[in-house]
Amino acid sequence: MICPRCDSNRARVMVTSPVGNEWEVYVCEKCWFSWRSTEKIKVNPKFKLNDQKIAEMLIIPPIPPLKINDDKG
Ligand SMILES: [Zn+2]
C-alpha cells in the first residue's frame, strides 16, 4: 500500500472495525501518517514529505531561551 503523504510502500492496515467490515485505519511506517478507509485522501503537494524533509524534521519543538526578569522593583 502506498502512503499518500510520502509515497513510500510502507503503509499497512493498523486496525479494522471491530464489528462487520465497515472501515480500516492505515498507517505509514515511514512518516507515521494515518488515515481511514472512509476518507478520500488528497495530500496537498505543499504537505508531501520526502526523505530530506523527514530527516530535517525536529523531534520536539525547541524550548526558547528563558526570559530573565531584571525588574528589581
Ligand atoms: Zn508516509
Q: Is residue 49 part of a domain?
A: yes
Give alpha helix (H) positions in the chain. Answer: 51-55
Distant-in-sequence, close-in-space partners of 6: CB < 8 Å, separation ≥ 6: 28, 30, 31, 33, 48, 49, 50, 54
Q: Is residue 71 part of a domain?
A: no
C-alpha cell at 59: 523531534
How do residues 10-47 score in pLDDT, each as one tens digit? 999 999 999 999 999 999 999 999 999 999 999 999 99
Ligand 1 centre to CA of 49 (Å) is 7
Q: Is residue 65 part of a domain?
A: no
Q: Is residue 37 part of a domain?
A: yes
Ligand 1 centre to CA of 73 (Å) is 54
Tell me the pTM.
0.74
Ligand 1 centre to CA of 10 (Å) is 7
**Domain range for 23:** 11-55
Give residue 63's pLDDT. 86
Q: Is residue 50 part of a domain?
A: yes
Q: Is residue 73 part of a domain?
A: no
Structural domains of the chain, count: 1
